[in-house]
Amino acid sequence: MKCFCFALFLVLFIIKLQRCDGLTTRGQGLKGRVQRDRRNIRPNIILILTDDQDVELGSMQVMNKTRKIMEQGGASFTNAFVSTPMCCPSRSSMLTGKYVHNHNTYTNNENCSSPSWQAQHEPRSFAVYLNNTGYRTAFFGKYLNEYNGSYIPPGWREWVGLIKNSRFYNYTVCRNGYKEKHGSDYAKDYFTDLITNDSINYFRISKRMYPHRPVMMVISHAAPHGPEDSAPQFSEHFPNASQHITPSYNYAPNMDKHWIMQYTGPMRPINMEFTNFLHRKRLQTLLSVDDSVEKVYEMLVETGELDNTYVIYTADHGYHIGQFGLVKGKSMPYDFDIRVPFFVRGPNIEPGSIHPHMILNIDLAPTILDIAGLDTPPDMDGKSILKLLEPEKTENRFRSNRKPKVWRDTILVERGKFLRKKEESSNNNKQQSNNLPKYERVKELCQQAKYQTACEQPGQKWQCIEDTSGKLRIHKCKGSLKVSAKRKRTRSLRSRGYSSKEKECDCGKTDYKPARGERRNQRQLSQTNQRYKPRFVHTRPTRSLSVEFEGQVYDINLEEEAQPAYETRNISKRHYDLEVEEDLEEMLADDNAVGQPSSVKVTHKCYILANDTVHCEREIYQSSRAWRNHKSYIALEIEALQDKIKNLREVRGHLKRRRPDECDCSKSYFNKEKAPRNKERKKSNHRLHPFKEAVQEVDGKVQNFNESRRKKKERKQKKRLKKGDDCSLPGLTCFTHDNDHWQTAPFWNLGSFCACTSANNNTYWCLRTINDTHNILFCEFATGFLEYFDMNNDPYQLTNAVHTVDREVLNELHLQLMELRSCRGHRQCNPRSRGLETGNKDGGSYDPHREEQLWNGWEG
């Protein structure tokens, strides 16, 4: 009996332990990654992001602290890429886990932090998901290029976001909804140190106040982005840096590549010297980031959170300095622009491990959600990389027949400014140019309800009538004018506004045409009526004005406007004969003083006089606090007016597009009998055939779009000519550099130069494939140009080998590229090939050179 009781007690104890163990690993997606003896079940997450940091040019070689902490202490991915080598599109992909064609941020200007982005995609960033599940989320640093600081993006509890583009000094941040300006003092204003200290303080305070709640932080550095201002202690480092001189350095011109590469020639000596100087300054800025990573690491050690924190280090895209003759920049589809550093360290990640799998910036959001124990939303295009980081079991590590982990081997690289608009117009053209017979199109059109009634609907212009032979015909509604005229008399809430279609011109009795002499007399009479003014209207200007100042009354003569503004006016005191020149100067500087009749009141304390001089209250010149308050008030007023001007321009453009039809009765003289005929003829011209309405609508949109582009180019050209800037070439993006560009040491003193290195309309779509047998880059440009590079034989993409590829292979690559260009969600954007069971790497990969089967869509 005792043995039976002891056995029963032992069984109950084991069951209780299993239940406790299940509670610690119940978080969805964690799969036992978190240690059970930790205070926080879910781990902390820290994402460290740099701006424009390359891999191909050796920028990581100088960051010894980061490499020791992240590379030796964690996992490194040697094939990490970005889907778009541009700042704002790539950062938008990181936040949402989507390709560019799904979040519609094509460039650093178009749709970057726009109202549509804020309404559709920003509420679905990874920060929103984590914040809703109890994470203490915080963002420090650069957000998006066009972020204006007027709001706090959803999902962030702590917010210190840089307004507009990267800067190290003289910038403004939005700190939890309040704008905070910074100057040029290194100790308190250097941007890299500012966000590092703020993030460390926030993490410490969060763990002190909420010890059981996990923290997710993003530390987004501006380095090594321009203006490349380094910390003073690093301004003399790397005088002979030459890692950027790769085999593709100054390899130009490239007549076998797309049109920008064909146009770009070899660099001049001053350009080559500039690339050396620029590379040196970029490396100097990264030394402050290197110190920042070390400070974050030491903070995690001191707080005891290192073993329960995932730290991710990466960049938004790469960079080129002199490659293919391009002086500087990004936005090219080659490896120096799309490869980025990527390191991860955290619980159960093997230190020093190297992973050759292809990962993308769209994988960041799903990975962060997976770390937090959340499933990947179906609209995200990326995949979590955590399963790649899980260590293999000991018994399976040395098996020769073990199955490799299934993962993608092909990614999409896309860049385009008017991508969606071109696709929509092409889709519309396809719909218009169907090849159905005419009677089939008429039959299909007559199935619509608006053509089935006998001209009874308001505004109906066409109707379908069946003739004696049984065929359907489309006829014009001849009595539509009378029907619409009757309906105009009815009043409704909808018809109270002005409408160009319903408004008719009322020119009175237009059948009478006066003679030429009579019209001349009417014009003379109208002119004399304008000159005539009644005698009883007081129109004489004021000659003098009485002003009381400091208890004394003065008479100011207002007729002497020809005198200079600095000369004292004739002022006569009524009761005293003392000199008042000093008092007058105080009057002009005082708010109660009377300015000249043509002065303009700008603010409640400042005026602009007739001679373009500004005078304000005496208090503003004497009190620094009043001066500062009024200056900040003016800055806020300017910002508000700029926003208002932007809105007014949008309304003006809307009004231009919706301009009603006008009729000028004074310019044309016609008989009353001919008027209805002219109106009938004019309205009949607007009644296009239904087959042509869609074509005209698309043509009108394209015409308006081209017109807006033309006007924008003209404005830019006028502004450039006004500044005297002749650094421009048609279709290219150019920049000028002079001795005043860099405000911190080391200084550039070799003079100014102009360079054109990119283009806004450089639109392309590329496939990047890496597996056991192939390492290729295949690109299709919007101009129809093709590029193909085999990196196994040409690692620096020096020669375009598209003419050596079979036509069938190019067709397969084109089909795969078209599928990826339109993919949505991680199931479509990460296809598994047919050879999954018997494939090579990652359980089977798509082989672009196999001939036994063609690419014909996705599986799974």
Name the least confident of 119-133, 213-227, 470-484, 813-827: 470-484
- Helix, strand, coil percentages for the chain (3-state, nearest 5): 40, 15, 45
| pLDDT at residue 592, rounded to an integer | 40
**Residues 768, 770, 771, CA angle at the centre, nearest 5°?**
150
Instruction: Give the percent of the chain with pLDDT over 70.
Output: 67
Name the least confident of 248-252, 496-500, 613-617, 785-789: 496-500
| pLDDT at residue 182, rounded to an integer | 95
Q: Between 555 and 681, whose confidence is greater?
A: 555
Alpha helices in 410-515 (DSSP H): 419-432, 438-445, 480-489
Question: In the predicted model, is pLDDT for residue 432 greater than 50?
Answer: no
The string of pLDDT tens digits covering residues 548-605 is 555 555 555 555 544 444 344 444 433 434 343 444 444 444 444 444 446 788 888 8
Mean residue pLDDT across the chain: 77
Please state the rounded mean pLDDT for residues 802-812.
93
Using pLDDT thresholds of 50, 70 and 90, give the confidence band for residue 503: very low
The string of pLDDT tens digits covering residues 238-272 is 999 999 999 999 999 999 999 899 888 899 999 99
| pLDDT at residue 549, rounded to an integer | 52
464 is catalytic: no
| pLDDT at residue 631, rounded to an integer | 87
CB-based burial label for 578 (10 Å; 0-12, 13-18, 19+): exposed
Please state the rounded mean pLDDT for residues 662-685.
49
Using pLDDT thresholds of 50, 70 and 90, give the confidence band for residue 535: very low
Give 104's Cβ-side CA count (13 Å radius).
Answer: 15
The C-alpha atoms of residue 697 and residue 833 are separated, in whole angstroms, by 42
* Residue 413 and residue 84 in contact, taking contact as beta carbons nearer than 8 Å: yes
Instruction: Give the percent of the chain with pLDDT over 90.
Output: 46
| pLDDT at residue 852, rounded to an integer | 35
| pLDDT at residue 743, rounded to an integer | 86
The string of pLDDT tens digits covering residues 518-528 is 666 666 555 55
SS (H, E, C) 509-568: CCCCCCCHHHHHHHHHHHHHHHHCCCCCCCCCCCCEEEEEECCEEEEEECCCCCCCCCCC
Question: In the predicted model, is pLDDT for residue 226 greater than 70?
Answer: yes
Q: Between 453 and 113, whose confidence is greater?
A: 113
The C-alpha atoms of residue 712 and residue 727 are separated, in whole angstroms, by 18
Question: In the predicted model, is pLDDT for residue 74 greater than 50?
Answer: yes
Count of CB atoms situated within 10 Å of the CB of 220 = 22
What is residue 339's DSSP assignment? B
- What tokens appear for 246 in the block? 């790769």
| pLDDT at residue 430, rounded to an integer | 41
Q: 839-852: buried (b, 16+ CB within 10 Å) or exposed (e) per residue?
A: bebbbbbbbbeeee
Question: In the predicted model, is pLDDT for residue 849 greater than 60?
Answer: no
Which of 112-116, 130-134, 662-666, 698-702 has the highest mean predicted lDDT (pLDDT)?
A: 130-134
Please state the rounded mean pLDDT for residues 315-329.
95
What global pTM score does this model have? 0.64
Using pLDDT thresholds of 50, 70 and 90, give the confidence band for residue 111: confident
Contacts of residue 654, defined as CB under 8 A and 6 or more positions apart, other chains included, come to none
- What tokens appear for 276 in the block? 């050396």
The string of pLDDT tens digits covering residues 409-430 is 999 999 986 444 444 444 444 4
CA end-to-end span of the chain: 59
What is residue 259's DSSP assignment? H
| pLDDT at residue 544, rounded to an integer | 54
Contacts of residue 634, defined as CB under 8 A and 6 or more positions apart, other chains included, come to 603
| pLDDT at residue 846, rounded to an integer | 36
Question: In the predicted model, is pLDDT for residue 173 greater than 90?
Answer: yes
Per DSSP bridges, beta strands 136-142 and 342-345 are unpaired
Catalytic residue among 3, 5, 20, 87: 87
Please state the rounded mean pLDDT for residues 686-700.
60
| pLDDT at residue 712, rounded to an integer | 74
What Cα–Cα distance (Å) separates residue 502 from each residue in 372, 548, 676? Answer: 60, 60, 15
- What tokens appear for 264 in the block? 């770009």
Q: Between 833 and 347, whose confidence is greater?
A: 347
The string of pLDDT tens digits covering residues 733-782 is 888 888 888 989 999 999 988 888 888 778 999 999 999 999 999 999 98
- What tokens appear for 824 in the block? 């949505």
Amino acid at residue number 491: R
The string of pLDDT tens digits covering residues 350-404 is 999 999 999 999 999 999 999 999 999 999 999 999 999 987 654 444 455 556 6
The C-alpha atoms of residue 360 and residue 342 are separated, in whole angstroms, by 10
**Residues 420, 423, 424, CA angle at the centre, nearest 5°?**
85
| pLDDT at residue 701, rounded to an integer | 62
* Residue 801 and residue 840 in contact, taking contact as beta carbons nearer than 8 Å: no
Count of CB atoms situated within 10 Å of the CB of 361 = 29
Q: Between 712 and 223, whose confidence is greater?
A: 223
Q: Between 99 and 685, whose confidence is greater?
A: 99
The C-alpha atoms of residue 161 and residue 143 are separated, in whole angstroms, by 6
- What tokens appear for 86 in the block? 């541009």
Longest Cα pair distance anywhere in the chain, in angstroms?
135
Q: Between 854 and 126, whose confidence is greater?
A: 126
